[in-house]
Structure 1
Amino acid sequence: MPTLPTLCDIASSARAKRERRKDARPGELLAAALELFVEKGFAATRAEEVAKLAGVSKGTLFLYFSSKEELFKAVVRENISGRFSEWSAELETFEGNSADLLRYCMTAWWERVGSTKASGISKLMMSEAGNFPELAAFYQEEVVKPGNDLIRRVLQRGVDSGEFRQLNVEYGVYLLLAPMMFLALWRHSLGPCVAGNGELDPIAYLNTHIDNLLLGLTVRTPAAPNAS
């Protein structure tokens, strides 16, 4: 005959559930904040809306994050800037040539960031940075600079190995950033409105851009003259 749970067992189980719920709250709040920041923008998103979507009180939100600004920074770190160490390690251990690395970086960006809600953060910053200079400075330090540095390293790798021609690497970074930023803006503006009518295939678009970019970057061996 099965033993009935005691009051102590029930209390212990309830405490364990509360602890699991407590541990999950920061992640739930970050997911809710990302959803609303991308949908409504930073200025229009209210803390109580984030708390409600996460299923907690506004007071609970402020137990984890001292302000809406700190909540936004945590969202950026969770979804983008906190992953730069991982991405940097991938760059260091990549075994293919620099053309393959460039293609891998751009398509991996789309799969991991561009195709997710996190890409809406770029659109948010472009539209609201002027009104929130502290957040703009934070984003510049934690996302823009390390992101540009990764791209710069890819290009410099190709130049140093003799695969890519000499170029102004500082400005070459923007050749790669341009299509990525276009896709981020497109996904969170016109993209959802043109499904089935001029819809864009992001991977095909990126590959077309990369193919043309490599035509300009790659050092080509001059053809040998025909024997007379």
Structure 2
Amino acid sequence: MKKSPALHAAATGPASTRQRRKEARPQELLVAALDLFVERGFAATRSEDVAARAGVSKGTLYLYYPSKEELLKAVVRENLGALIAEGADIVGTFEGDTKGLLAFLLHTWWERIGETPASGIFKVILTEMGNFPDFAAFYMDEVITPSRALFSGVLQRGIDAGELRSVNLFETVHLLIFPMLMMCLHRHSLGPCHMPVRELDPHSFIDTHVDIVVNGARRRTASVAVARRAPNRKTA
């Protein structure tokens, strides 16, 4: 059915444009906030700076985010929280082995976080959150705890399937996660300085990282276990 000229004008006129602009505003504020928090630091960034970067008034900013802390929480939820929830759904439906699942999760994480401005969140968190205990508690509840649960579940899945031996989940989860955070920090520290060294390829690094962790956690065969326990004997 063809739209009447009046309906078409209503859908494309100034009022409709303003509505679309209003709907896009929260996302524009989050993008501006993330850029400034990474460039200047959380403590040094003022709310009015974020509003100016987004092209709105300070009052408009407060309509959506009543404080700078709430703005940072929204940045974290938008970029990290959503991806963690998505990862949990993937784990529930993935049909491959543990190595394939870990590789898929970490490559996806790098493409969605590491290669984007969102990687700067970790620079802000690791350098400043000791001064903001309330936000640190929020980050623990909404990022660290669910991330640990996600990767603990992946490892336990491998243990239950007989792929992995019964490793210490808490330590092994951190062994998986910390190198990813260091790559993000490198991207926002030495990376921009173009140091004259071989550039690290993140995806090649992830493949190597997963290979070493998974092979180190694999169940040992009986022959390997005996060989490890056997004392060294010197030949005459």
Give the TM-score normalised by structure 2. Answer: 0.86
Deviations 1:125-153 (A, max 9, x none): 11111111111111111111101111111
Deviates more, 1:108-117 or 1:129-138: 108-117
Distance in 1, Cα, partners of 2:47 & 2:27:
15
Deviates more, 1:59-68 or 1:98-107: 98-107
Distance in 2, Cα, partners of 1:188 & 1:18:
36
Equivalent runs, 1:113-124 vs 2, <5 Å:
113-124=113-124
- Structure 2 letter corresponding to 1:209: H
Residues 83 and 215 of structure 1: CA distance in aligned 2, closer, same or farther (over 3 Å): closer
Distance in 2, Cα, partners of 1:85 & 1:124:
22
Equivalent runs, 1:194-209 vs 2, <5 Å:
194=194, 197-209=197-209
Alignment: residue pair count: 218
Deviations 1:62-83 (A, max 9, x none): 1111011111111111111133
**Cα drift, residue 223 of structure 1:** 5.9
Partner of residue 74, structure 2 = 74
Specify every segment of 5 or more residues in structure 2 that has no aligned partner in the other structure, as ranges.
Answer: 225-236
Contact 1:179 1:206 in 2 (8 A): no
Corresponding residue SS for 1:70:
helix
**Cα drift, residue 196 of structure 1:** 5.9
Tell me if 1:51 matches 2:51.
yes
Partner of residue 136, structure 1 = 136
Contact 1:80 1:143 in 2 (8 A): yes
Distance in 2, Cα, partners of 1:195 & 1:16:
49
Distance in 2, Cα, partners of 1:159 & 1:179:
23
Give the TM-score normalised by structure 1. Answer: 0.89
Corresponding residue SS for 1:103:
helix
Distance in 1, Cα, partners of 2:167 & 2:149:
16
Deviations 1:98-131 (A, max 9, x none): 1211121222111111211112111211111111
Deviates more, 1:189-198 or 1:84-93: 189-198
Contact 2:123 2:185 in 1 (8 A): yes
**Cα drift, residue 19 of structure 1:** 1.2
Question: Which 4+ runs in 1 deviate beyond 4 A?
Answer: none
Distance in 2, Cα, partners of 1:31 & 1:115:
15
Equivalent runs, 1:24-173 vs 2, <5 Å:
24-173=24-173
Kindly report the root-mean-square deviation, in angstroms, between the aligned alpha carbons of the 2 structures.
2.1
**Cα drift, residue 58 of structure 1:** 1.0
**Cα drift, residue 85 of structure 1:** 2.3
Distance in 2, Cα, partners of 1:138 & 1:168:
26
Distance in 1, Cα, partners of 2:15 & 2:209:
55
